Structure 1
């Protein structure tokens, strides 16, 4: 049977991959950093626009043999692709001071970032396990180098090695899980796997099936930095250049969530994965919040808070075993919608830190940002807004609606105990988010080093991320609809 190919469905992937190639050629032929960055930025914008245009129509399927398709581009895929492209654009803007400082090669940086963006664009449309895992690795592999790309930084090299070793183990687990599932079911397409396991319940009693599901979920949980697969995240974020840490905390985490959501929704038995993910979510948010309370370094606090946020994202999936069909659909949408709200607020938070730190510097200690909002009122206000949003408080409506959406999905799915855990952890999270925000407005000590003047590109990225967070806060239902499509 001939395989169909729909080039329109592949347009966003073509644009993203073309951006990587063009950035490399421009750097090689022109050797002008500004032209290379402009090429990468233009390509990211084109990718986001292309994804929105293709996703605005009916769902498009390609690489199909019969009813089984390896690439399915619909509303959810368009949302993920456009968001990854916008995150890459934001990280490019945040990287301006870092690239001008001369410690990071511009061509390699733009090429690797565009390659990672390509993986994120393909990931949202993956229809089989092979495409899914290859897309996850395409998203992740360039980050090993980006984390350690800063010349002369032992901390950066150590962070890159930590990230590399952990990710290799995670990839091996995911591939092993996919291979075992293929051995059990004889299929790799996500929808086909789900149908096979539903039609042949005796397969669920096989020990091999349980091992396959466990290993695959564990491999993808590494990418999300869920407990107990989280230990790499704080060290890697703190050792990476600040813009790369921002990308790790947003686009990379979004990719892990999308991959895990895809296999749980379409391929894996929900009665088995639901209780496991409920326990993982509860542990992740609790450990992340409790350890974040003790952090004194800025990036480590944001890293541990992102671990806790991963728990909130996974929480709706914990009710799958008890929920009916409508509640399950709402749980999938709630998980992805929370991820969208989170990455926008997280990008704004990192943009605020980058704006207040010297070029090529790490995040430093929290005390070094004491009184920052008094000296840079607009930047400080935007950073405080992002922190309040991550805490789930108004006026940052995106964070508030994110928490409400998760709790509502858990109550609809009959997992009231997990909704209570979410509520208790949200209260714990208030302590360090509000402490950080209050520190920005505290009187500065005489011994505190002067703050850097925010670069225009960084200030612009901070403003755009904040505006986008405000917009989605006023349109939560639109995000939910796209996430559920």
Structure 2
């Protein structure tokens, strides 16, 4: 709760900092504010379950863990907005405040204990992202991305809200614990079809937010058109908050309906893995490849939902937490390098990375670690993220799903190695100069690479956190 209050207050304070007309104050100010929020959130660890707003929102270790990921992700992403500072972007204060406000929605999605709180959190997060997607007003692709995201997002939110209404009509409650009881022992069996339709519509609504197939169709175009800095935020923070909310919904509110939603999630998982990996393999743009890659990683996280079997703690839940952290670290590094290169070379395809290993060894190394982690290569966090999720699935007997996921991982190796081939085996264009990287970006990229490697060497430090 303290995190929500601080993020809201700091978002407003940041708007007032914009009146100083000095962008140089905004970046360190925003990073300092997020560092404070991260520390305050961490202080709630081990304090038991705290309830707020008539138990509509709860703060426990689950909330603290996933809130820590989204706040840390935003903190390490901010240095890559340096180009906005240097260029004197007149709307920088508004951008930072929208990021802080969207984090409020993310935290509400993670800590909700009431379906209305979940809806409010999704809306706060989504509205901020609609604006940021179209923040490059003179870019037709950005305008198109914002319009597509808004229209599709509004439609998906309507489906989610209709599902919530049907579930309420069948059970008479919005509270997760009461829903669990009502679903397991329905008072009126004739309302069960309404309940199942409502559950299905809620799964569709949340599936859109986390880019799960077949509700992923907006992702490539929106990711490509959105400014790269905000695409990185969208592909990490939104996905982490979405899966934290998804897991809580299935594990706390709907374990009694497992026989209904489990086959649905399994089908979504297989389709997401297939479409995400095959789609990424045929792309020529690095940015669109990362968009489809984001879809494929939603598939691996869905494996965690299947393996959890309605359990908010245990091997599968801890695997989802670890995977979310490893994925966020690698994705921020990949998008960070891509933004720096695209700003300098004015292209975001594979050819834009040509010769980067010679002109910018640090950028190439950071991108290499990120790609290897996303591919699930040993000694990176991504390897153990996949290992924990697949091990949990094997423990529950989902051998076929695990084998299919491993096959799709081999497809992933193909497109994750393409940036490495471009950086180290292809020459840079004639007259290409080194990509400028300032001190804070250098430190951030080095820390992200080291963190990915550390998660691959000592995964036990965080593997059983839930």
Matched, 1:292 2:290: no
After TM superposition, give the deviation of residue 476 of structure 1 in Å. Answer: 2.8
After TM superposition, give the deviation of residue 223 of structure 1 in Å. Answer: 0.4
Q: Which residue is 1:350 aligned to?
A: 335
Matched, 1:280 2:246: no
Contact 1:275/1:319, CA 8 A, preserved across alignment: no
Contact 2:27/2:85, CA 8 A, preserved across alignment: no
Q: Which residue is 2:360 aligned to?
A: 376
Question: Deviation digits for residues 72-128 of structure 1, max 9, x if unmatched?
Answer: 111121112122112222222111113422456111111111111222223221111
Question: Deviation digits for residues 348-389 of structure 1, max 9, x if unmatched?
Answer: 111221232326x87621111012112111221111011001
Name the CA distance, whole Å, in 2 between partners of 1:175 and 1:453. Answer: 47
Q: Which residue is 1:476 aligned to?
A: 459
Q: Which residue is 1:136 aligned to?
A: 122
| Counterpart among 400, 408, 425 of residue 425 in structure 1 | 408
Higher alpha-carbon deviation: 266-275 or 192-201:
192-201
Contact 2:300/2:389, CA 8 A, preserved across alignment: yes
After TM superposition, give the deviation of residue 478 of structure 1 in Å. Answer: 3.9
Question: Deviation digits for residues 44-95 of structure 1, max 9, x if unmatched?
Answer: 111111110112432322233xxxx212111121112122112222222111
Equivalences for 1:216-365 in 2 at 5 Å? 216-268=202-254, 269-319=257-307, 329-358=314-343, 364-365=348-349
Give the RMSD, CA atoms, in angstroms: 2.1
Q: 1:165 to 1:97 in 2, by over 3 A?
A: same
Name the CA distance, whole Å, in 1 between partners of 2:329 and 2:76. Answer: 10
For the residue of structure 1 that corresponds to 2:53, the secondary structure is: strand
Contact 1:16/1:121, CA 8 A, preserved across alignment: no
For the residue of structure 1 that corresponds to 2:48, the secondary structure is: coil
Higher alpha-carbon deviation: 205-214 or 175-184:
205-214
Q: Which residue is 1:124 aligned to?
A: 110
Higher alpha-carbon deviation: 245-254 or 346-355:
346-355
Name the CA distance, whole Å, in 2 between partners of 1:72 and 1:239. Answer: 36
Contact 2:252/2:311, CA 8 A, preserved across alignment: no
Aligned residues: 464
Name the CA distance, whole Å, in 1 between partners of 2:83 and 2:167. Answer: 47
Q: Which residue is 2:388 aligned to?
A: 405
After TM superposition, give the deviation of residue 480 of structure 1 in Å. Answer: 3.3
After TM superposition, give the deviation of residue 159 of structure 1 in Å. Answer: 0.8
Q: Which runs of 5+ in 2 are unaligned?
A: none
Q: Which residue is 2:398 aligned to?
A: 415
Q: 1:348 to 1:203 in 2, by over 3 A?
A: farther
Give the TM-score normalised by structure 1. Answer: 0.91
After TM superposition, give the deviation of residue 247 of structure 1 in Å. Answer: 0.4
Q: Which runs of 5+ in 1 are unaligned?
A: 1-9
For the residue of structure 1 that corresponds to 2:343, the secondary structure is: coil
Name the CA distance, whole Å, in 1 between partners of 2:85 and 2:287. Answer: 20
Question: Deviation digits for residues 295-324 of structure 1, max 9, x if unmatched?
Answer: 11111011011100100011122245xx5x
Q: Which residue is 1:49 aligned to?
A: 39
For the residue of structure 2 that corresponds to 1:358, the secondary structure is: helix
| Counterpart among 18, 26, 29 of residue 9 in structure 2 | 18
Equivalences for 1:119-198 in 2 at 5 Å? 119-198=105-184
Give the TM-score normalised by structure 2. Answer: 0.94
For the residue of structure 2 that corresponds to 1:54, the secondary structure is: coil
Q: Which residue is 2:60 aligned to?
A: 74
